[in-house]
């Protein structure tokens, strides 16, 4: 793909704006550790939520969605669509609790919830585990995807150019902290989505319109339902309906995965804790889930269908079907759209890398270095070490990224080793009996069992039976550990309850002992009602857009009406929730 002068102007302008934003926020990020890692806890919901969406829109995401569509049709996306259930649980049950906790990272929460040496060990181990191996795997596969795109589109050494992009991104992440990351996320998300939509429109028009695309996809997959059906077939195929039921019944609450952690966590929790108050935290997470699951996938899906019918050789053994997205860029884009699309991929890549550098460093500095090495560090020293640690993490990532052969390889590793830990991450908020050993054993058992099932049992990480076996074994292990070890001390439990006030039957004895009575969970029954309405609204919106594009207008209108009704119910319930209306007053560290 040859670039014209107009293409280069667009690319240069994109980098100039990104650099200017990073430099502008450098001074503000240096004021404190809270400013560097949490933007001073002052982000509005729309900015924090868009930053979450931008972070999950990485260079690999269009390639992964394209690969799923080429191999399995539109319904193949249920492999990740099922995680909306966990995301919406975070919205209505955990977002307010994370904001109340007042911690700097979700790993710091460990020593708020638990006490003693086991809690300290868990905090230190989990901080290093997430900051280094897990974080490096994620950055490695994202960079691998960016390198693939650059090699296909420009015919250059993708690794070298991706490494340059990585260093540029690290530059503003080091200087501007989360302030620079979030503001550039907003700009980069607009650029990335514009490029995705333009490519989807060109792909559809190239084949003669949506009807023609559907017709060709039907011939390619053997039936209309196999090609563009939202639900998988009842029997047969890669993900028959029986397997989908397992995913919907188990994976969303049982598996830990970045951006879809049961009970919240990771950079989602980081953005929640960066918001102005509990209300903004909840709305930010709600906007993220709507955009992530219902709105954003369709441009990629359309390009995936185009790749399936235009490049049938991608389905052959040994081929990487995800490369169909980059091939579509080469074949369809004129100048200056080529420059815009490359800027879009750079934006998607850089927004994810910037977040993971800042997020990973927050664990290392706050939960390891300040906790175990240098407790009395000054504010200036803390920020300096944070910047140095970000640079070191960047260098490690440049080394690790060379060892991932495929984007799917890195994704499979995370999906496998995260299975089985979700339930304990949920229950630690709502059941007083969970202790530090519960989490330690859950992490260890999930890692050991998933690797055994994968390596010895010969099952893929995305096989439903691998998921069921890992979840069952790890759950038995951590429940056994919970009851074989003592509970947390009354002082630890009471300290946590006073701060977070999670409510519910699982804390009744502690709540009554402290004089709060029988407190319900925040929002009470309406929170559970909103969770159900939330996934109805998100999935109905997803189906409505899909039917509008490749189905029938009548079905699209019906799904849209269902979605509107569900959103209206959520809005009514939130207006009636006194704890939601008064959240700004009660949130620790709120900047109003």
- Answer yes or no: is pLDDT of 262 > 50: yes
Average pLDDT, the chain: 85
For 5-523+577-586, which CATH superfamily applies?
A: Sodium/glucose cotransporter (1.20.1730.10)
Backbone dihedral region for residue 266 (phi beyond 0: left; psi -120 to 50: alpha; all else: beta): left
Count of Cβ atoms closer than 10 Å to residue 419 Cβ:
28
Per-residue DSSP letter, 234: S
Nearest one of 359, 424, 348, 349 to 132, comparing CA atoms: 359
pLDDT of amino acid 417: 61
Q: How confident is the model at residue 411 (pLDDT cuts 50, 70, 90)?
A: low
Lowest mean pLDDT among 238-242, 496-500, 537-541: 238-242
- Closest of 475, 511, 587, 589 to residue 95, by C-alpha: 587
38, 591 Cβ separation under 8 angstroms: no
Q: List pLDDT tens digits, range 473-515.
A: 999 999 999 999 999 999 999 999 999 999 999 999 999 999 9
Among 380-394, 546-560, 575-589, where is mean pLDDT lowest? 575-589
Rg of the chain, C-alpha, whole Å: 23
pLDDT digits (tens, 9 = 90+) for 152-208: 877 766 667 777 777 777 776 777 788 888 888 888 888 888 889 999 999 999 999
State the pLDDT at residue 584: 47
Average pLDDT on 326-350 reads 86
The model's pTM: 0.89
The beta-carbon contacts of 150-155 under 8 Å, at least 24 apart in sequence, are 152/323, 152/326, 152/327, 152/329, 152/330, 153/1, 153/326, 153/329, 153/330, 153/338, 153/342, 154/1, 154/3, 154/342, 155/1
What pLDDT shows up at residue 64? 87
Q: CA-CA distance, 300 to 282, in Å (whole number)?
A: 28
The pLDDT of residue 428: 95
Cα separations in angstroms, 565 against 86, 405, 454, 573: 21, 46, 43, 12
Q: How confident is the model at residue 590 (pLDDT cuts 50, 70, 90)?
A: very low
The reported pLDDT for the residue numbered 588 is 45
Split at pLDDT 50, 70, 90, the class of 562 is very high
State residue 165's pLDDT score.
76
For range 417-431, the mean pLDDT: 86
Mean of pLDDT values over 423-440: 94
> What residues contact 379, with CB distance under 8 A and at least 6 apart?
31, 32, 33
Neighbours of 237 (CB within 10 A): 16
Residue 422's contacts (CB-CB under 8 Å, 6 or more residues apart) are 86, 252, 253, 254, 255, 256, 261, 262, 263
Please give the pLDDT value at position 460: 66
The CA distance from 538 to 85, in Å, is: 10
125 close to 436: Cβ distance less than 8 angstroms: no
* 65-109 pLDDT, tens digit each: 999 999 889 988 888 888 899 899 999 999 999 999 999 999 999
Residues of 189-227 as b/e, b for ≥16 C-beta within 10 angstroms? bebbbbbbebbbebbbeebeebeebbbbbbebbeebbbb
Three-state SS for 433?
Answer: coil
In percent, the amount of the chain with pLDDT more than 70 equals 90
pLDDT score for 591: 38
Per-domain boundaries in the chain: 5-523+577-586
Residue 231 φ then ψ, to 5° = -100, 145
The DSSP letter of residue 77 is: G
Bridge partners, 275 (sequence order): 43
Phi then psi dihedrals of residue 378, to 5 deg:
-75, 165
Task: Please tell me the predicted confidence (pLDDT) of residue 581.
Answer: 67
pLDDT tens digits, one per residue of 39-66? 889 999 999 999 999 888 877 788 889 9
Write the CB contacts of 210 (distance below 8 Å, at least 6 apart in sequence): 204, 549, 550
Q: Tens digits of per-residue pLDDT, 357-377?
A: 888 888 888 899 989 988 888
User: 336 preceded by cis ω (within 30°)?
Assistant: yes
- 584, containing H or E segment: helix 583-586
CA 357 remoteness from chain centre: 15
Q: Which of 237-241, 264-268, 343-347, 360-364 has the lowest mean pLDDT?
A: 237-241
**How buried is 495 (Cβ within 10 angstroms: 0-12 exposed, 13-18 middle, 19+ buried)?**
middle
In contact, 13 and 248? CB cutoff 8 Å: no
Q: Identify the pLDDT of residue 380.
A: 82
Contact between 195 and 345 under an 8 Å Cβ cutoff? The reply is yes
Are residues 116 and 360 in contact, defined by beta-carbon separation less than 8 angstroms?
A: no
Residue range 118-146, pLDDT digits in tens: 999 999 998 988 888 788 877 877 777 78
**Amino acid 107: pLDDT:** 92
- The predicted pLDDT at position 280 comes to 95
Higher pLDDT, 431 or 396: 431
């Amino acid at each position: 793909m040859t670039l014209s002068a107009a293409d280069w102007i667009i690319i240069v302008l994109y980098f100039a704006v990104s650099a200017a934003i990073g430099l502008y926020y450098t001074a503000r990020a240096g004021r404190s550790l809270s400013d560097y890692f949490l933007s001073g806890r002052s982000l509005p919901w729309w900015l924090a939520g868009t930053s979450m969406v931008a972070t999950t829109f990485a260079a690999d995401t269009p390639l992964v969605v394209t690969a799923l569509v080429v191999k399995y049709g539109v319904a193949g996306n249920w492999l990740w669509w099922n995680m909306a259930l966990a995301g919406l649980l975070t919205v209505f049950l955990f977002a307010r609790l994370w904001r109340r906790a007042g911690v700097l990272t979700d790993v710091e929460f460990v020593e708020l919830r638990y006490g003693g040496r086991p809690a300290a060990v868990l905090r230190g181990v989990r901080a290093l585990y997430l900051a280094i191996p897990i974080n490096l795997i994620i950055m490695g596969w994202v960079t691998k995807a960016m390198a693939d795109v650059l090699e296909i589109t420009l015919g250059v050494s993708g690794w070298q150019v991706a490494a340059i992009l990585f260093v540029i991104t690290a530059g503003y992440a080091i200087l501007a902290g989360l302030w620079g990351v979030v503001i550039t996320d907003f700009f980069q998300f607009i650029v990335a989505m514009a490029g995705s939509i333009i490519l989807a429109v060109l792909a559809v028009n190239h084949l003669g319109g949506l009807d023609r695309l559907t017709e060709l996809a039907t011939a390619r997959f053997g039936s209309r339902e196999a090609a563009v059906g939202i639900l998988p077939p009842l029997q047969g195929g890669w993900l028959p309906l029986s397997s989908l039921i397992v995913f919907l019944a188990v994976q969303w609450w049982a598996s830990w995965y970045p951006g879809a952690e049961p009970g919240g966590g990771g950079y989602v929790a980081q953005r929640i804790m960066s918001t102005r108050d509990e209300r903004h935290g909840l709305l930010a997470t709600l906007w993220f889930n709507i955009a992530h699951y219902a709105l954003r996938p369709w441009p990629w899906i359309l390009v995936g269908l185009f790749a399936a019918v235009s490049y049938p050789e991608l389905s052959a053994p040994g081929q990487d079907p995800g490369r169909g997205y980059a091939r579509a860029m080469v074949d369809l884009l004129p100048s200056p759209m080529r420059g815009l699309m490359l800027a879009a991929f750079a934006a998607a890549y850089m927004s994810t890398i910037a977040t993971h550098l800042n997020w990973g460093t927050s664990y290392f500095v706050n939960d390891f270095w300040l906790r175990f090495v240098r407790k009395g560090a000054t504010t200036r020293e803390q920020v300096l070490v944070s910047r140095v640690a970000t640079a070191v993490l960047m260098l490690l990532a440049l080394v690790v990224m060379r060892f991932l052969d495929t984007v799917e390889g890195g994704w499979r590793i995370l999906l496998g080793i995260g299975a089985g830990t979700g339930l304990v991450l949920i229950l630690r908020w709502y059941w007083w009996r969970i202790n530090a050993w519960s989490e330690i054993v859950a992490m260890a058992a999930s890692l050991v069992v998933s690797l055994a099932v994968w390596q010895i049992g010969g099952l893929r990480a995305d096989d439903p039976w691998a998921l069921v076996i890992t979840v069952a074994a790890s759950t038995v292990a951590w429940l056994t550990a919970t009851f074989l070890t003592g509970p947390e001390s009354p002082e630890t439990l009471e300290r946590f309850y006073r701060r977070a006030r999670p409510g519910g039957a699982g804390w009744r004895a502690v709540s009554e002992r402290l004089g709060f009575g029988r407190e319900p969970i925040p929002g009470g029954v309406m929170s559970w009602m909103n969770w159900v309405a939330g996934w109805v609204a998100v999935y109905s919106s997803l189906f409505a857009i899909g039917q509008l594009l490749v189905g029938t207008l009548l079905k699209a209108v019906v799904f849209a009406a269902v979605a509107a009704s569900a959103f209206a119910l959520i809005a009514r319930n939130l207006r009636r929730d006194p704890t939601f209306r008064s959240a700004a007053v009660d949130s620790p560290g709120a900047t109003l």
